[in-house]
Structure 1
Amino acid sequence: MPNPWLALRFGADPSERIGQVGRAHERFVTGDPVPDQVRDVVADSWRRSAGALVDPDATAPIDLSDDELETYRAGHPLAAVLPVFRDLLGGIADDGEHIMAVCDAHGRLLWVEGHPRVLHRAEAMNFVAGARWDERHAGTNAPGVALAVDHSVQIFATEHFSRLVQPWTCAAAPIHDPLTGRLLGAIDVTGGDHLANPHSLALVQATARAAEAHLAGLGRAVGTRPGAALTALGRDEAVLTVDGRRVRLGRRHSELLVLLACHPQGRSGDQLGLDVYGDGILNPVTVRAELSRLRRILGPAVLDSRPYRLLVGLDADFVAVTRLLDQGRVAEALDAYGGPLLPGSDAPGVVRLRRLLDGQLRAGVLATRDPALLSAWTRAPWGGDDLQMWEALTTLLPSGSPRRPLALDRVHRLRGEYGLPVPAPADPAHRPQAARSGTPAHRPDTARPGTPVHRPDTARPGAPAAERNPRAT
């Protein structure tokens, strides 16, 4: 069976493939569905890019100034393994007329090194340190896709969403903190079409593993005691990393661990039962059985009983977002927000936490009146149908902004879908267009179960701390 992460099958004609995918791309950006000839990983990325309103003719934005870049990357964990990247890829990139790039978990390019002539060419598409190359800002590209799907991948020529990037081919692999499992960034090799071979993908995979091994050694050398990390945002089944082990939890165990993370002082079996099953459905035997199974999975050194509580420090992604919001760091909180908390869960305690976090973050973004943050919210899967956010964005974007007509169009479309009055636009260029074929329409009745609905009561001004802060519930 062909490797879905490789761009070309064995024996495929690169020129023929470039033309085939290029024609598919042109049809897609003009409103047609993605043809079957396009790889699934690429088709999915095109859809995400279109959903984020990425302009196929735009360049990636610069996210960090020179001074900001120097400060940020000096303190980044991947700075410790830059010599590993240079040893394994630096010489190859320079000799083979390629570029080696390292990005953080948000797609910001931290280091871009390689052949001088290739570096100069890459500047035309803003493939430079400080630029933002995640899918939401640059469309389909290897480091962006690798971060989005958490897997190594090749992106070949016309598979790129941006037309400016289509002369290039790249391969990238994600890099994780070996002690917590947290995504740190990605390593990428970019160059010509000759990179579309199994060797380039294997090379970035091996480099990523070498970097993780080096980070693990540094952790042991300084006496770092591994803690635990919980990833529960934007996924139905949480992932726990403890003592170097990555454990994918089932739905019920995910709910229990999220609830325990919010109550470091511990919870009784009855309390957890109410949080998970609600009133009238509580079965103490069922709750104890689930907790017993979870304790066997995690080990007695991680989960205690009487009361049930975690014995290790837990770095939970949703708690980190709440902490950033409490500190007024809304932009960082939005960057760290991977989506609704366990979106498929209907456990009362989790639903409450999910709505509180979503409401607090949404209120924080609106309060900034920062067009960049509001735009980032609307580009996210959970914000595409948020009418209030789109309407606020139209009032903040200057009249000459290329994004304003798109925002006005989305406002008109959503108001029509929600049965609200649609004001006649003053500018005919701003008239709403029919939804593109192949682009999913955002309707409230098609939201996946558990996805938070934006209601005024989710973040009431003056609400008590216990209602605004998931950790205080």
Structure 2
Amino acid sequence: MNVARLAVMDATRAARLLSEIRDATLVGQRARIAPRPVIEESWGRMLRSGVDPDHDFRSGLLSSDEVRRRREESPLRHVLPVLRQGLLSVADVAQHIMVVADADGRVLWREGSPPVLRKADGLGFELGADWREDVVGTNGVGTPAVVRRPVQVFAAEHFVRSHAAWTCTGAPITDPRDGRLIGVVDVSGPLETMHPATLAWVDSVAKLAEARLREIHLDSLERLRSVAAPVLARLDGRALVVDRDGWSAAVSGMPYVRRVALPKALAPGRRWLPSLGSCAVEPLAGGWLLRAAEEPVGTVTRIVLDLARPGRNTLTVSGSAGSWSRELSPRHAELLYLLAVHRAGRGAAALAEDLFGDPSRTVTVRAEMSRIRRYCGELLQHRPYRFREDTEIEVLLPANPGDLLLSSTAPAITRRRTAAQCGGPADR
């Protein structure tokens, strides 16, 4: 069923039909028309997690001070002009509002048609509100954050009944440097104002925002590089200059390292860092100077790959010299999970088959593994790709095995999800 086209021709009929489909699905009956796959999968997650479709649950709003703090720290603040220019002028005329939420699903900005803003208040769609999918059900903020792709939610496709007069269209915004989710932009309004082109429109503006973030990053590295050049020229030995997030601006006396994993509270002094070992850390304008010491690094003893929270995958490494964590892009989470499952290792062709169902796509696999090895360093070996044998690895999985790496369409991951739900053996 083309829900968008039906809603444009007859919004009332579309709302009634979607309500029938949801009601049948929630009581375990087979509806005469199946819900769209992205909606059906979301409803399944809501039923498993215990979200009540008849109860409009709202977690506490963030305080105005906390909203202000998150705004100041969010990279989304840099792309607000892009989002406003691309969405607000049309949204206001079309009786929609633009909502920008952070990676935690918290509404940080909300602008647009005043009458629609007042209607949103009645739904709890306010500044500081929590619109994660597992809190308020299927919606245009929480669901795109989970599946990592644009989603349009019409009327009764919302899991919670009180949202059925609303239409939401959201697209995730990711960090173009590493694929990490940083937020969601959403355009919402009453069902009768919905247009089938809204999904492509919102997705296009989200991609423009990501392109702007990429430009900002490259400009900042160029400024840091001009500061680093005279500093590195005076030094002997291995050294590099990175920005506050660990991205390299300049390197001296060592192979180029694209990024160094930095602890959240890095301070000047002698520190141990992944892939570099013991370093002297010195502050620079806009970044850090890292001078690597020629001494052996501590032995890594344990790796935890945390895939338990849909959409938020992390790698934590612990050893005698300390520990560090890194949030993983969806692709890197897939690859590290497959290597954790296959401790004997996987060649590039086998991983290409796992990810794409096409063993010839080894160039893509090798490029991604090269990026992973830049921050994992000695933890990963190659020919075949594998974790070091003396490393203990723990994989934390979702409570429901069917929620494993939800945004992944990789054949090997899909087989494991299906096998886990059916209680059968996983793939080879």
TM-score range normalised by the length of the shorter chain: 0.5 to 0.7
Q: Corresponding residue for 1:76?
A: 74
Letter in 1 for 2:49: A
The CA deviation at 1:62 is 3.0
Q: Corresponding residue for 1:354?
A: 394
Give the TM-score taking structure 2 as reference length.
Answer: 0.58
Rounded to whole Å, the distance in 2 between the matches of 1:189 and 1:216 is 23
Match of 2:400 among 373, 381, 394: 381
Give the TM-score taking structure 1 as reference length.
Answer: 0.53
Q: Corresponding residue for 1:276?
A: 344
The CA deviation at 1:202 is 1.6
Q: Alpha carbon RMSD of aligned pairs, Å?
A: 4.4
1:38 aligns with 2:106: no
Q: Structure 1 314/9 Cα, relative in aligned 2: closer, same or farther at 3 Å?
A: farther
Match of 2:147 among 140, 146, 149: 149
| Matched-pair contact (CA < 8 Å) for 1:122–1:128 | yes
Q: Structure 1 449/352 Cα, relative in aligned 2: closer, same or farther at 3 Å?
A: farther
The one-character-per-residue Cα deviations of 1:44-65 (angstroms, maximum 9, x if unpaired) are 1111112121122214323522
1:174 aligns with 2:214: no
Q: Structure 1 351/106 Cα, relative in aligned 2: closer, same or farther at 3 Å?
A: farther
Rounded to whole Å, the distance in 1 between the matches of 2:214 and 2:145 is 21
Structure 1, unpaired ranges of 5+ = 241-245, 260-272, 278-285, 316-345, 359-376, 385-443, 451-473
| Matched-pair contact (CA < 8 Å) for 1:8–1:196 | no
3-state secondary structure, aligned to 1:190: strand
Letter in 2 for 1:353: I
Letter in 2 for 1:13: D
Q: Corresponding residue for 2:183?
A: 185
The CA deviation at 1:124 is 1.2
Q: How does 1:114-263 map to 2 (within 5 A)?
A: 114-223=112-221, 225=248, 227=259, 233=307, 248=331, 255-256=338-339
Rounded to whole Å, the distance in 1 between the matches of 2:421 and 2:362 is 39
Q: Corresponding residue for 1:435?
A: none
| Matched-pair contact (CA < 8 Å) for 2:150–2:199 | yes
Letter in 1 for 2:172: P
Rounded to whole Å, the distance in 2 between the matches of 1:288 and 1:26 is 47
Q: Which has the higher helix share?
A: 1
Question: Once the two structures are aligned, what percentage of the paired residues are identical?
Answer: 32
Q: Structure 1 178/446 Cα, relative in aligned 2: closer, same or farther at 3 Å?
A: same
The CA deviation at 1:287 is 6.8
Rounded to whole Å, the distance in 2 between the matches of 1:445 and 1:96 is 43
Rounded to whole Å, the distance in 1 between the matches of 2:41 and 2:421 is 23
Q: Corresponding residue for 1:28?
A: 25
Q: Which has the higher strand share?
A: 2
The one-character-per-residue Cα deviations of 1:48-94 (angstroms, maximum 9, x if unpaired) are 11212112221432352222121122101111111211111122223
3-state secondary structure, aligned to 2:79: helix
Q: How does 1:85-124 map to 2 (within 5 A)?
A: 85-124=83-122
| Matched-pair contact (CA < 8 Å) for 1:18–1:158 | yes
Rounded to whole Å, the distance in 2 between the matches of 1:78 and 1:110 is 10
The one-character-per-residue Cα deviations of 1:352-403 (angstroms, maximum 9, x if unpaired) are 6235x56xxxxxxxxxxxxxxxxxx9xx53699xxxxxxxxxxxxxxxxxxx
Q: Structure 1 228/98 Cα, relative in aligned 2: closer, same or farther at 3 Å?
A: farther
Q: Corresponding residue for 1:412?
A: none
Where relative contact order (Cα < 8 A, 6+ residues apart) is larger, the structure is 1
| Matched-pair contact (CA < 8 Å) for 2:7–2:13 | no
| Matched-pair contact (CA < 8 Å) for 2:91–2:113 | yes
